[in-house]
Chain A
Amino acid sequence: MDITETLAIPIPEQLDSPAVPDQADLDLTTVGDFTVPDPRMKIRDVNVFYGQKQAIFDVNLDIGSNSVVAMIGPSGCGKTTLLRCLNRMNDTIDGCRVEGRVEMDDKNVYDRKMDPVLLRARVGMVFQKPNPFPKSIFDNVAYGPRIHGLVRDRTDLEEIVHTSLERAGLLDEVKDRMDQPGTGLSGGQQQRLCIARAIAVSPEVILMDEPCSALDPIATARIEELIGELRKNFSIVIVTHSMQQAARVSQRTAYFHLGYLVEVGSTKDIFTTPKHQLTEEYITGRFG
């Protein structure tokens, strides 16, 4: 049965094979050191299946503290799938099965005892398409603190909303219209509102799934600038299609190919001296 037909939520990426060079004899084991000192999250031997189809193969990766990890690779390489494993957003997809361990504070997030509600409060997410709630700007940001009971009174809440909007670089643009609907903002503003909404619950890790793919270059530049700022307080994992973006915002880069983590290393090394043949072909633009 074709699983895409029965899904409430479409699988984020097409799983059919992209145009890639002949690779039958290529070695897909990870090149480079996937560990970092003092990691915030650890991905160990993770395999992900959509029904019968395997989307991720034996991936190991550390997410460092206060740094940006970029996941790059051609369409259908599984980078969004892996990203959604980190806060268990894959749970909402029927037929999706995750094997292996994703650790946070040495606890497997896929453990039975782990409550996804707590996990997602600690690991926030920004989606590909800006998705503010059809509510006011204030309520968009205030929603997380409210449901988690992070505030005692209205003053606390207003402070959190203001700080979050300020850190998302949106406060000056919206402070006079906090009661206007969030859906009335421009695309770039909406995405920054979503970032403000994510940081309002003070997560430790922020996952960004191609946050700029629906935005124009100016809005993109603002988001990238913002990511640089946010890095001081949060660990960030960003999936991107743009290699330039990965080079601009990240400290480490992981290159994925058909569900395998092919190469991982410092961003500088990956873009100047790639060790794996596939990585080199991808960043030099021979396929993608």
Chain B
Amino acid sequence: MNPTKQIVSGLARRQRAEKRFRLYGLTAVVLGMAFLLLLFGSIVANGYKAFTQTYIELPIYFDPAVIDPSSERDHQTLFSADYWKLVKTAVYQKFPQASGRKERRELTRMVSEGSAYELRDQVLENPRLIGTTQHIWLAADDDIDMLMKGYIDRNVPEDERRLNDRIIGYVDSMREVDAIERRFNTTFFAAGDSREPEQAGILGALMGSFLTLIVTLLLSFPIGVAAAVYLEEFAPRNRFIDLIEININNLAAVPSIIFGLLGLAIFINWFGMPRSTPVVGGLVLGLMTLPTIIIASRVSIQSVPPSIKEAALGVGASRMQAMFHHVLPIATPGMLTGTIIGMARALGETAPLLMIGMVAFIVDPPGGFTEPATALPVQIFLWSDSPERGFTERTSAAILVLLVFLIAMNAAAVYLRERVTKRF
């Protein structure tokens, strides 16, 4: 048999093997995409309705007798007045058929308790409202919101569902005259945490995450880059440096909760830093991100062609000049990519923040690095623990917001990586 014939006889088998392998690969990709879509799909399906919120239109009479009996427009008086009473009066007037004590309490429960603060803010901003009647859209209670979003099944027996037939009747009657509707949920983006789902927002968590990441970046980027430059360019080759390198690689694999314990023991217990604050969270996450940045920076420094450095040394540049004038500019996009990926990981990190107390219930968005705060993933963790249906959808919505930030950061990393390939 001649060689050509031998090759031909094996060709079909080789082609079959290749086809089979391609099929395996395709199956793996399709499966992966399917799971990803399932994940995203379920989160979006659970969460998208949280971006709207049910509002009820009520004719509020800003009764001077309630708000400002002395007619002095004194700030303190206006601030501490009983605005909830205005809301109650308005609902009673809207549904005069409800007369009993129990029925009236049901009525007032339809409106969010946060409405009183909403009215107060409006009056403080514009005291001329006092004495007038305004049609104002106020946030509905989360149970009403759930009903409007179709999460409450009317076919369930009355005593087993959260809203009785009477309230559903009120809602339906308001629906007929367009006095109740779903609007974009600004509260979700403008408020801090709350016990009431309709008043809860992610602003506090976002601010906390933002402040934490600033500390993380300020700590880990300069130290990481300096360490990478030293290890690549100036470190002598000896046992001690080998040990350091091995430990940096090991550090990258340490479970993040260990860093949280470290932060608790060192930063809070020993240094006496305040608990639950972005500064401690940032320090802990910075230590966690450090090895990632060092490793990424070293890789991108190594990927710069050595001929560039030799050229610089050849005309008499010092090692530092060769590094800073030629190697680092080329390595920068790669280093930034590593940094962004490290920061994205820090943004999604929960466990170490639990250890340092950033898991507390904090209503006011933090105004500085040393004020108590939570972070976005911790907020998700907190809400996912809450029994109210309103928090379930807000959990998914917060996850969506977190994902948007993560995807944006990763896209930035990809963009930078593209730029580095274009330069050569």
Contacts and interface: CB of A to CB of B under 8 A. Distances in A.
Bound pair: A and B? yes
Interface in A95-152: 116-121, 124-127, 129, 131-134, 143-144, 147-148
Contact of A144 (B302, B310, B315, B424): B315
Nearest to B304: A134
A94 interface: yes
Contacts of A124: 314-315
B315 A201 contact: yes
Interface in B270-315: 302, 305-315
Contact of A8 (B306, B325, B423): B306
Contacts of A147: 315-317, 321, 325
A20 interface: no
B311 A132 contact: yes
Contacts of A127: 307, 310-311, 314
Contacts of A117: 316-318
B316 A148 contact: yes
A184 B237 CA distance: 37
A246 interface: no
Contact of A133 (B316, B318, B326): B326
A198 B315 contact: yes
Contacts of B306: 8-9
Contact of B307 (A121, A129, A198, A201): A129
Given A94-B237, A134-B423, A120 B316 contact: yes
B330 interface: yes
A122 B308 CA distance: 20
Contacts of A23: none
Contacts of B310: 9, 89, 92, 127, 131
Interface string B316-350: 11100100011000100000000000000000000
Interface in B254-280: none
Interface string A138-172: 00000110011000000000000000000000000
A3 to B, nearest CB: 11
A201 B313 CA distance: 13
The listed residue with most B CB atoms (<10 A of its CB), out of A119, A132, A133, A144, is A133
Contacts of B317: 117, 143, 147
Given A9-B306, A143-B325, A147-B321, A131 B311 contact: yes
The listed residue with most A CB atoms (<10 A of its CB), out of B311, B314, B315, B317, is B315
Interface size class of chain A, counting residues whose CB lies under 8 Å from the partner chain: 20 to 34
A89 B313 contact: yes
A278 interface: no
A6 interface: yes
A66 to B, nearest CB: 21
Contacts of A6: 237
B315 A121 contact: yes
A237 interface: no
A127 B310 CA distance: 9
A194 interface: yes
Contact of A134 (B237, B308, B314, B316): B308
A121 B318 CA distance: 11
A87 interface: yes
A197 interface: yes
A126 B317 CA distance: 15
Contacts of B424: 134
Nearest to A115: B318
A125 B325 contact: no
Contacts of B316: 117-121, 144, 147-148, 201
Which 10 pairs, one residue from A and one from B, show the smallest C-beta to C-beta distance? A121-B316, A131-B307, A144-B315, A125-B314, A120-B316, A131-B311, A9-B306, A117-B318, A117-B316, A147-B317
Given A120-B313, A121-B316, A127-B310, 9 more contacts: A89-B313, A89-B314, A117-B318, A131-B307, A131-B308, A134-B423, A143-B325, A147-B315, A147-B316
